[in-house]
Chains A and B, each alone.
Chain A
């Protein structure tokens, strides 16, 4: 019974989130720094370089790492405060078992007892219900080494097909689209290409808050005279000075892209030579947009037709251009279609394989790129191979030293695992780096599912909001406690260095997994002395795959400030820019156009739920907030979710800034303060998603999935908004007093 043992209040009292405000010893401690460790920020896929200051096995501060070329010392607010996640009062220091009679609802137990319990439950559940009734959920804040190990551990130690990862809620639509069209899932460009673009088009990405460092690359392009196009339902900070703003209605992105392709064709702003030499199926894509006029798209998207024509002209007539997209177009039930429609624009104008040219996703999570390459997706083996492909299975089995038949087949995707738990097909779960109570859609359904588990074990460093449902909690390791590699959103393999060792009885994640395998008696192929051995095997397993790390070594990665894969042989310089010379990764070397007819989202507004809801992040918080909701300065910057709405909508609801509103969908209801701002479409509200329980916007979002990527539709839902009574002052001390009362 994986039920929360005691009340929310009691759990928070014991396990937090409490706020770490100061470095160890306080601001006045005058601590001598023993050493400075060059590593990376853990809070997003940009993977900025940072130096951590260490004193007596504690991280006590940071110093900008000016020599790391990607960010040259720059950091956003999360990076600046990143070091405060260590030496934290909420840190889990002992293995624990659920015990409602114990203070805090959990009691400390020995590692032996905790691991024996985990192993006993895995064996019991698998004997009673079959191997696949025990599932594993993982995440991509983990290093490449851990991602690789978990893929192997789940298949060869847990014997389960049902392993998936939290990138299923993040980058997976981008990956699926890129593989279909281009034959490979990686950003086509190093970020140093952005300043070389004559037009930069940002679609569905609040770069200023989610990837602040990328702003500097975009400003550098504008210093050269580049035009900036921003496509978003909100006038996000980057849009404020854009040359063109496309205020797209949630869920209508493929109509906008379709109308742009329509216009490129009609005005013949095409690169015919590129299309003929390097692509196939252009005619099918063209046929699908033959009726998608800008005027038609204006009615669907809410973007004035003249702006659509203008975007097409700038994109089609500029010698170079980059289109950067992120979760805004990807977290939809047609996320893959949106991505394919964006890629069509790059292919049609020959914007691939050249300096300053590319259509690319901006990978979200810390190791969102590397973590989706090495085999801990339900359909994937290392080297970004396909788990259903017999040749790929044989290649990996040879490296693993196992029989091909020992590798289970394709399993369920993350949201499908939660649904299988809910319907009783899956009875046991081990999770690491995954907090579905906050991150999965339809929160009420998710918590119901977790309560139905016969056994739930969690590896984490804090008691995350899902772990409160666990039977056993195993204290794992922080980013700065283990050594390995990650791969940034550019496709740059980088080195993560350990600054400190885990405190108390906490252990390195990979050692915990190896111990479970050993106790299961299934550790024949899981023998490693350190993470370097895992990396070396990962590189061998990647040989011949698209994500080829063959020639990468830890030494080269550090000496060269990162290596861009593919690195297919020893001494290979790496591949910063893909597709040079128009060579794509499909066997015939050609890219594929895809026809993308427009269809509506799974849910559209109606008389009962007349307002569009979209969700996203804020600058000072990261993902489900397990780490960032425990750091003082970050919480103070944006303490709780607000419901952004346009004054026109607010007026129609009788709401003024700060009023508490009730927002409800077909799944659930939440109350929160309204933030009345004229920077959002009048038919749309925005709520950020970093909070649990009654503050979780995922109480409202739907479980509709993209048919290809299995991505839930976080970005589009239909809601009703009403005034709930009461209010709070929202404007803080940082707001200048220019107006009296709301504007």
Chain B
């Protein structure tokens, strides 16, 4: 399972597979350098109408917004493009990064007066091991492997370019979307089965007894 120097594994998020079990949230605490703090985000999109949950790790932007807005120059990237937590010695706890990140990733930890965030489990990935969350994720919504492995085994296309208003960001972490060769995404195109709009057949008047 370990990845060697030539393998160039990537981190992939496919929220459509997420089952909301929170294994990632718990596993994040177990990474050697996280010390009981979970730095991943798991949101229930709207439990009133759906069980859809969405996991968010740091996307590790090529030119990270968090670092751009940091007045103390406390946020550094590793040589491999991993954006790290704020340096303790520099972080002034202003939360500019928390407010500016287009993905909502950084956490300001008040008791430490420091910003901490997903570091892709640097202690694990530097030794060729997958990050904790992608190791345990039982639905492979969070996945770590080479682009070839992905292409051989998984559906969908990998995207890493995102546009937020006038801001464009390119990320180290990929998200999965339906095949991009099909043209632009239509977010309102509906569900895979046409049952989702009326799961219990209420429109047909037979869902209740």
Cβ-neighbour of B193 out of A72, A79, A208, A244 (below 8 A): A244
Interface hits, A215-248 → B, CB 8 Å: 215-216, 219-220, 222-223, 235-245, 247
Q: Closest approach, in angstroms, between the C-beta of B108 and any C-beta of chain A? A: 15
Residues from chain B with Cβ under 8 Å of A239 in the complex: 199
The reply on B166 being an interface residue by CB < 8 A is: no
Which stretch of B41-49, B69-77, B85-93, B112-120 is in the interface?
B41-49
Cβ of B164 under 8 Å from chain A: no
| A610 CA / B118 CA spacing, docked (Å) | 50
Whether, in the assembled complex, A249 has its beta carbon less than 8 Å from a beta carbon of chain B, the answer is: yes
A676 at the A/B interface (Cβ < 8 Å)?
Answer: yes
Question: A38-72 interface mask toward B, CB cutoff 8 Å, 1 = contact, 0 = none?
Answer: 00000000000000000000000110101100011
A742 at the interface (CB under 8 A from B): yes
- Given A74-B135, A216-B140, A302-B200, A620–B22 Cβ distance below 8 Å? yes
Does residue B65 face the partner (Cβ distance < 8 Å to A)?
no
Q: Which of A219, A307, A657 contacts B195 (CB 8 A)?
A: A307
Residue B100 CB within 8 A of the other chain: no
Instruction: For B147, list chain A residues within 8 Å (CB).
Output: none
Contacts of A676 in B (CB 8 A): 48
Give Cα A299–Cα B23 distance, bound, in whole angstroms.
40
CB of A64 within 8 A of CB of B135, answer yes
Residues of A within 8 A of B20 (CB): 208, 237, 619
Is B202 in contact with A79, judged by CB distance below 8 angstroms? no
- Identify the closest chain B residue to A61 (Cβ): B30
B185 to chain A, nearest CB (A): 16
Closest to A74 in B: B138
A77 touches B195 (CB 8 A): no
Contacts of A299 in B (CB 8 A): 206
Chain B binder among A267-275, A489-497, A590-598, A679-687: A679-687
How many whole Å from B45's CB to the nearest CB in chain A? 6
Place the interface of chain B in its size category: 35 or more
A683 contact from B16, B137, B209, Cβ within 8 A: B209
- Contacts A74-B137, A76-B138; is A302 near B207 (CB within 8 Å)? yes
CB < 8 Å: which of B43, B48, B51, B135 contacts A743? B48
**Cα separation A482 to B188 with both chains bound (whole Å):** 55
Contacts of A61 in B (CB 8 A): 30
**By the criterion CB–CB under 8 Å, are B136 and A75 in contact?**
yes
**In the complex, what residue of chain A is closest to B35 when comparing beta carbons?**
A27
With A237-B20, A304-B201, A736-B45: A73-B136 Cβ-Cβ less than 8 Å: yes
Is A22 positioned at the interface, with any CB of B under 8 Å from its CB?
A: yes
Q: Encode B132-158 as 1/0 by CB contact (under 8 A) with A.
A: 100111111000000000000111000
The answer to whether B44 touches A735 (Cβ under 8 A) is: yes
Interface residue A348 (Cβ < 8 Å from any Cβ of B): no
In the complex, the answer to whether A247 meets B19 with C-beta atoms within 8 Å is no
- Interface residues of A, dominant DSSP: loop
Contact B1 A73 (CB under 8 A): yes
Least CB distance, B153 to chain A, in whole angstroms: 6
Q: Which of A473-519 contact B (CB under 8 A)?
A: none
**Would B195 and A244 count as touching, CB distance under 8 A?**
yes
Query: A79-B23, A683-B208 given as contacts; is B46 within 8 A of A743 (CB)?
Result: yes
B25 on the A face (CB < 8 A): yes
Which of A243, A683, A734, A736: most chain B Cβ within 10 A?
Answer: A734
> Which residues of B are found within 8 Å of A22, using beta-carbon distances?
36
Bits for A281-323, please: 1 = Cβ < 8 Å to B, else 0.
0000000000000000011001110010000000000000000
Given contacts A216-B139, A219-B139, contact A77 B21 (CB under 8 A): yes
Q: How far is the CB of A432 from chain B (nearest CB, A)?
A: 29
Give Cα A605 to B52, complex, Å: 31
A/B interface sample: 5 pairs, CB < 8 A = A74-B23, A208-B51, A303-B201, A657-B48, A677-B49
Given A80-B23, A245-B196, 5 extra CB contacts under 8 A: A28-B35, A208-B20, A235-B50, A241-B191, A677-B49
Interface residues of A (CB under 8 A from B): 22, 26-28, 61-62, 64, 66-67, 71-77, 79-81, 208-209, 212-213, 215-216, 219-220, 222-223, 235-245, 247, 249, 298-299, 302-304, 307, 605, 619-620, 633, 637, 646-648, 657, 675-679, 681-683, 731, 734-736, 738-739, 742-743
Report which B residues bind A (CB closer than 8 A).
1, 16-17, 19-23, 25-27, 29-30, 35-36, 42-53, 130, 132, 135-140, 153-155, 191-193, 195-196, 199-202, 204, 206-209
